[in-house]
Amino acid sequence: MGYAIRRLLVFPVVMFGVSVFVFVAVRLVPGDAIIAMLGTESGLLTPDQRAALAAYFGLDQNWFVQFWRWFSHVLQGDFGTSTTYGKPVLEIILNSFPLTLELALLSMLIALAIGLPAGVFAATRKDKPADLILRIVAMIGQSTPGFVVGLLAIFVLSVGFGVLPEMGSFVPITEDPLRNLGQLILPALTLGTAFAAAVIRISRAAMLDILSEDYVRTARSKGLSDRKVIWRHALPNALIPVVTLSGVEFGYLLGGAVLIEQIFALPGLGRVVLDAIQQRDYALVQGSVLFVAFNFMVVNLLVDLAYSALDPRIRLDKG
């Protein structure tokens, strides 16, 4: 408990660092918000009009003033207004996030459901045909880009069989769960299978290490069946690297899967961030990056808490 609180106390410090970094980074990118907003028409603006627009968005001040203005509002929960959408940044983020979260959870579920059993199975059949096949499959899965798999999946299922994916505008899970699932299952499979390959490799390696441990031998000497030795004695010990990997991957997915969202035309957080960067929508970029960083920290904290839940030797309060 004390550990979680100590970690939470560090959150604001990291958030401040991220704020400064992203604030400077978006301003170092060439081009400005007004040109991006108006496109070629920006050339028609008189200098006075330009200045008025800049003043309206607060872009006429120096960086320190701009930062303080933005940051002091953030501290009060106001992330500013998007120049592209003309809506509050927080609203845009919170609208696109449920989709991203759902997609991330679904792909993790698929990845673990496939990867973990396959990795364990491969480890117990080390160097036998089943292991070799799984290793090759995992290698292919890891080295094939996700969008290739995604495009192939769309092609095969829609053109070939005339089923899936449900295109059209995205339906939230709260409105029509079935339709929602139909829209998300393909992108989730695309993301999930690629990650499953990584899970296979890491869980296989971890299991191989654990299977040669003394306590696995002890479990066998008790007369436990192979199944119990593997699932009850070995696997819990092999989970730590899997949790580490999954935590990192999940953190990335919460930042939005840009490519997959583009291919499947999903209005997730990834597309919001991409559009915002292209439009030099400073407030939206800053707000969403901050949001993504926050998610990452929460996931990392959960991963650390999971470590101590999995392994009683890892006492977070000490050391």
Residues lying near other proteins in the complex (CB under 8 A): 2, 5-6, 213-226, 233, 236-237, 310-313, 317-318
Q: Which is nearer to other proteins, 124 or 286 (CB)?
A: 124
Q: Which is nearer to other proteins, 12 or 177 (CB)?
A: 12
Q: Which is nearer to other proteins, 151 or 310 (CB)?
A: 310
State the Cα–Cα distance between residues 285 and 42, nearest whole angstrom. Answer: 22
Amino acid letter at 318?
Answer: K
Give the chain's end-to-end CA distance (angstroms, integer).
15
SS (H, E, C) 162-184: CCCCCCCCCCCCCCCHHHHHHHH
Both tokens assigned to 208: 């191989």
Q: Please, what is the minimum distance in Å from the beta carbon of residue 312 to other proteins? A: 4
Q: Please, what is the minimum distance in Å from the beta carbon of residue 310 to other proteins? A: 6
Q: Please, what is the minimum distance in Å from the beta carbon of residue 193 to other proteins? A: 29
Q: Please, what is the minimum distance in Å from the beta carbon of residue 218 to other proteins? A: 5
Q: Which is nearer to other proteins, 48 or 127 (CB)?
A: 127
Question: Which of 194, 315, 290, 288 minimizes the C-alpha distance to 245?
Answer: 194
Q: Are the beta carbons of 282 and 33 closer than 8 angstroms?
A: yes
Question: Which of 288, 245, 261, 247 minimizes the C-alpha distance to 82?
Answer: 288
Q: Please, what is the minimum distance in Å from the beta carbon of residue 220 to other proteins? A: 6
Q: Which is nearer to other proteins, 44 or 227 (CB)?
A: 227
Amino acid letter at 210?
Answer: I
Both tokens assigned to 156: 């095969």
